Structure 1
Amino acid sequence: MSWVTTVVGSYSVSEGVRLLVNESIVSIPEWANLIWYNPIPSKVLIFHWLAIRNSIPVKDILFQRGIIQEGQNISCFWCFNSTETVNHLLLHCPWASLIWSDIMFWWNIRWVMPSSLVSFIQAWSSGMGIKAEMSRSY
């Protein structure tokens, strides 16, 4: 085996990274820049990334991995109405919806919750179609 992108034919991490960030090969979604290039705590960034990658250990994922066995309860801990998935827990559970509704109310924004966390991040990073004006008070 040889790595075809180098003259020597051997793989290096720096060569792999260079290949990944080359815009002609892989385009980085705008929402990924919103996550990784923000001055927020690294724990929040990692949680956010795991949530988007559907890797938070919610009951549905634990069931898929065989950690929760067939017949065990995989419904949401908060509402008991739906399967506990990342999208449900962070967006659609009545508890989460109430929090998001309050936030949007405080900001005087009316919108419909997107179906997935990725759609939410894309809408959030594009400003949700809202043009805000900064007001100055002196």
Structure 2
Amino acid sequence: MSLVGAIFCVALLNVSEIARYGFDSMQATTATQAAAEAALTTCDVAHVPATTNCAGLNNAVDAALHSTSLGTQIALKAPLSEAYYCLDNSGALALVSSAASAPPADCSAVTNATSVPTLYLVVSTSFTYAPMFGGMTVVGRLPQTMTHTAWMRMK
């Protein structure tokens, strides 16, 4: 009876810890996406790039980032960045120019001359998960630092 009770207890600890890990990961993803969306709703797309032409950008991103249950435990991993991207032949976004320079006329740099470059804002965040039960569960073997990235098309 003791052996079965101990196995059941360890299994219950693992289930609760894995559920909490998954929930925190989902909250980190949601916070990152909310921060990217806040940039678009705060900054006028007629005055892009937003990183240089939108005074309220950083405050709006910070407020949205900390709007989930994670609060101030989640932080920007890197400064907000903006650049012009084009779809390459494989359908992936490829960097063609920084937002500080003039936008390219077309996407010939990635052999797609018929397309027009698009400005994207990139938000990268980091959250460090703290297990409740330390080394007693399998979550201790999972990555403790969660990083998420959200992209927002600005123009």
Q: Which has the higher strand share?
A: 2
**TM-score relative to the length of structure 1:** 0.25
Query: What is the TM-score normalised by the length of structure 2?
Result: 0.23
RCO greater where, 1 or 2, for CA within 8 Å and sep 6 or more?
2
